[in-house]
Amino acid sequence: MRAISHQNGVRFLKQGQFIEFSIDDVNDFLEYRAKYLSHGTYVRMQNVLSQIWAISQGKIYRSTLEEITDYYMNRYPSDSGRDKFFNYTRAFLKYLYKIHMDNFSQSLYTLFEKPRRRREIKLMTQRIMVVEDIQAAIKKIQNAPETDGRKPNWKSNYITAILFLAYTGQRPLTGAQVTVRQFKVALRQNPPVLTIEAAQDKIRMAHYCPLHPVLIPPLTDLLSNKKDKECLFNVIPLQTWLKNNPVRLHRTKGHLVLKDLRKFFEQKSDEIGFTDANKNFIMSHGVCSVNWKHYKGFLPENVYKKYMECWKDVEICSF
């Protein structure tokens, strides 16, 4: 950012100018902007405001924004993480402009942007997932001591959760929120199709999730003696278990994490020819175009039919 002054009708930032704000302004902005957002977004925005306050101590100079920029670029390696923090900071600067309504506040808001960087070109993910990776994880769970789990039947819960995520491509967080009642309703239907509610989805899109025949027996066993409002899968403990008991991947470096199962579904679908809009709808992925918002529509029986045409012969683990 360049230091500037009024000259020939052009507005410039002057060295030594600053915006002053209080901790009450920070709290008011958080209440105003994040009140109706998700808990995760609220926490991220809270972290941004904490960093702004720690760096500025209530006074934002031109140099303060340079410090904030350097902090974000060094602290957060991913573009998506940086985008969130720069956008939240710009939103706060805009809020300060609305409070002060002066040219200096507007100039800081206008000039504060994420720096452009040369991007690494990646044609595809480096994590290639194969059936053997999932089989290795299941075998490791089966051979683990019973004392590894904190809850009864933890092995069957973990294995069924892994198969569910692999056969459906759902996000782990989505799988963690699906209730016993939802599965019971799905299993009573013909064909068995699970309805994921909008509040359970990352992008807030309700969608259908066909249940592969392989999943029916273990799901039926897990549902017995469960209350309808309970979440069926112990996803968070499973994530911790995989971290403490790493499963090495067969075709790429690293160890299995639950989000890899979504990659498996995508890659396996490409392999077996399940590449139409039904796959994107099941995954709740790549559905942000105007075409999706205003023209696409799906019936559960049709989604199940298209899914089974490609996935019926895929067997990861037999019971």
232 and 261 fall within a common domain: yes
45 and 101 fall within a common domain: yes
Percentage of residues in the chain having pLDDT higher than 90: 55
199 and 100 fall within a common domain: no
103 and 138 fall within a common domain: no
102 and 154 fall within a common domain: no
> Based on the structure, what is the number of domains in the chain?
2
Residue 98 lies in a domain: yes
276 and 186 fall within a common domain: yes
User: Which among 111, 143, 177 is the end of a domain?
Assistant: 111
161 and 81 fall within a common domain: no
192 and 307 fall within a common domain: yes
181 and 307 fall within a common domain: yes
Q: Which of 121-125, 183-187, 224-228 is modeled with the greatest confidence?
A: 183-187
Q: Can you list the pairs that 217-223 forms with residues at least 24 positions away whose Cβ atoms lie under 8 Å?
A: 217/319, 218/156, 218/159, 218/160, 218/163, 218/319, 219/160, 219/164, 219/183, 219/187, 220/187, 221/156, 222/153, 222/156, 222/157, 222/160, 223/180, 223/183, 223/184, 223/187
> What CATH number is attached to the domain comprising 169?
1.10.443
Average pLDDT (182-203) is 95
253-295 per-position pLDDT tens digit: 899 999 999 999 999 999 999 998 999 999 998 888 888 888 8
Q: Choose between 197 and 105: higher pLDDT.
A: 197
pTM of the predicted protein model:
0.74
What is the structure's pLDDT at 194?
97
Structure tokens at 293: 């918002």
**Which residues, at least 6 apart from 257, have a Cβ–Cβ distance to it below 8 Å?**
239, 242, 243
288 and 157 fall within a common domain: yes
- Band of the pLDDT at 104, cuts 50, 70, 90? confident
| Radius of gyration, alpha carbons of the chain | 25
169 and 92 fall within a common domain: no
Residue 119 lies in a domain: no
What is the structure's pLDDT at 7?
41
Domain that holds residue 73: 19-111
What is the structure's pLDDT at 13?
54
Q: Which residue has the tokens 């994880």?
A: 137
Residue 205 lies in a domain: yes
Residue 8 lies in a domain: no
Is the pLDDT score of 8 beyond 80? no
Percentage of residues in the chain having pLDDT higher than 70: 92
